[in-house]
Amino acid sequence: MLKSAGDGLREVPYPVSDPERIPVKRYYDEEFYQAELDHLWPHMWQNACRLEQIPDVGDWIEYSNIGKSVIVVRTESGIKAFHNACRHRGVPFAGGQPLDKDYSSAFGNCSKKGFVCPFHGWAWNMNGESTRVYGKHLLSDRQLDPDDVNLVPCRVDTWGGCVWINLDNDAPPIREFLGEVTHDFDLHGVEDLRAEWHYGTVLPANWKIAMEAFMEGYHVMQTHPQLFEASTELYAGMYDEPGARGMSERPRVANENPDIKAAIDAQIHSFQLLSDGMAGMIHQKEVDILKTVPIDGLPEDPGEAIGMWFGMGMAAITQELRKRGEPCPDILEVSQSHPVSAVQFFFPHYFLLPTFASMSAYRIRPLGPEKCFFEIWSLTTYAEEPDPVMEPTVLPYNSVEFPMIPRQDYSNIPIQQAGMHAQGFEFMRLSKDVEGMISNYQRIIDGYLKGVPEEKLTAAIHELRLNFDGPIKELDL
Ligand code: FES
Ligand SMILES: [Fe+2]
């Protein structure tokens, strides 16, 4: 437990006292990790599962993190969640394998038999009400009170096509916690997406190191040279001078290319590389539709032409997907009215990467100070409800089966973790202009560890909206 700092707050080990410098011990120190387990995670909305994984009444799935297991279940009266321990002697009543023993979540349907504890057979219905205490007469009456035998509910909420749980019964609702960005993504159709595939891998790195590899595009030139080569002007423009951010800037890519057809071909090539490299995010069907957009009659100015073509591409994707019966927002309209980042981080452990209608998603869970479980989903639109993807395909982080872009990112993460231990390396040095998100979310972690008031913490979390590749912000924490 952290010591009191004397002002009603706790003393944080290795705090971020200079926003441009992140102390390395935060990435491996046992005490710091324990502080996160004690003061951060128990108050977080955690992404527990995708809604499509529990489509029918009685469907349940396990979610575990930081050694706590929760069972999420769909009931007649909505989604519920229960802490996964039998009220008798604590055996998990469903699933129960620790995350680092079984990286897929246990799941099933309890509508017929309810939940039955494997030890002495106590049982409950899907609402968590006790339906059997075997040999009741053997226990004192006071041990049989409903409050003693019913399952303990866990805070649960839904957003973005997912179920979220929170160990803190006093936490604000998830939309309040994450803020306006939830509404932005609602309009971008996030609820209508379904998983096409789901991969997982164990990374020998602190969970924050793993996440930070996805909080800026400054690494693209070196880590993803194929993307840089395909869109050199875009990336050079973004990192040569501050100010260019996110997908609304993408049309800049070929502004200086006088040949409009060549410029558009280059743009399509770059989208194709992203699509291939992520095996999704920009879905192949979206690239195929972009290729059909006519380019005659575009303005002569290449900048204007490519901007107009991009808008036409968004409109064409919308129109074509809708024609196929797939749910699709008006991509052009929402990208203007409610722009979103190419990569949006949802504090503390979830990401969405939107471009057109499809998106990728990441979820990260710590497995110890220097180990984490990293998952990727490819999310897309379907005309008919697809079969849900129930389990991740778990591969070694260097597996050639991973799509190229995450494989390139994964190649840096384990060696970066080793670098944290190098003599003379005391803190990371961040760019104040494009690596701000790393500083911003790290200081929010400190806010939780210190125990600053909830309103200040949520206000700071809201600052992470559109903060990908963004500046260090002044946070009132
Ligand atoms: S521990 Fe569950 S019935 Fe005994
Ligand atoms: Fe990357």
Give the dihedral sign, CA 378/385/71/190. positive
Residue that has been written with the tokens 């321990």 in this structure:
85
Q: Which atom of ligand 1 is nearest to the CA of 87?
A: 2
CB of residue 449 inside a 6 A radius of ligand 1? no
φ/ψ (deg, to 5) at 216:
-155, 160
* Whole-number pLDDT of residue 259: 85
CA 432/CA 441 separation, integer angstroms: 14
CA 119/CA 245 separation, integer angstroms: 56
Q: Which of 83, 89, 131, 136 to mutate to test the pocket of ligand 1 (most atoms within 8 A of CB)?
A: 89
Q: Which of 122, 130, 138, 144 to mutate to test the pocket of ligand 1 (most atoms within 8 A of CB)?
A: 122
Q: CB neighbours of 10 closer than 8 A, spacing ≥ 6?
A: 2, 3, 4, 39, 449, 450, 451
CA 266/CA 281 separation, integer angstroms: 19
Please tell me the class of the 46-162 domain: mainly beta
CB of residue 224 inside a 6 A radius of ligand 1? no
CB of residue 132 inside a 6 A radius of ligand 1? no
* Whole-number pLDDT of residue 413: 98
* Whole-number pLDDT of residue 258: 67
Residue that has been written with the tokens 């790290």 in this structure:
442
Find the 81 Cα to ligand 1 centroid distance in Å.
19
CA 373/CA 468 separation, integer angstroms: 22
CA of 421: how far to CAs of 26, 29, 205, 338, 426, in Å? 11, 10, 12, 42, 9
Find the 352 Cα to ligand 2 centroid distance in Å.
14
Block mean pLDDT (10 aa), the chain, length 477? 88 98 98 98 98 98 97 98 98 95 94 97 98 97 97 98 97 97 98 98 98 96 92 82 47 58 92 96 98 90 89 97 98 97 97 97 98 98 98 97 96 98 98 97 98 97 96 97
Q: Where are the domains of the chain?
A: 46-162, 220-337
Minimal-distance CA residue to ligand 1 atom 1: 89
Minimal-distance CA residue to ligand 1 atom 4: 120
* Whole-number pLDDT of residue 247: 41
Which one-letter DSSP state was computed for residue 196?
E
**Are 440 and 460 a contacting pair, CB within 8 Å?**
yes
The region, left, alpha or beta by phi > 0 then psi within -120 to 50, assigned to residue 406 is alpha
CA 190/CA 273 separation, integer angstroms: 23
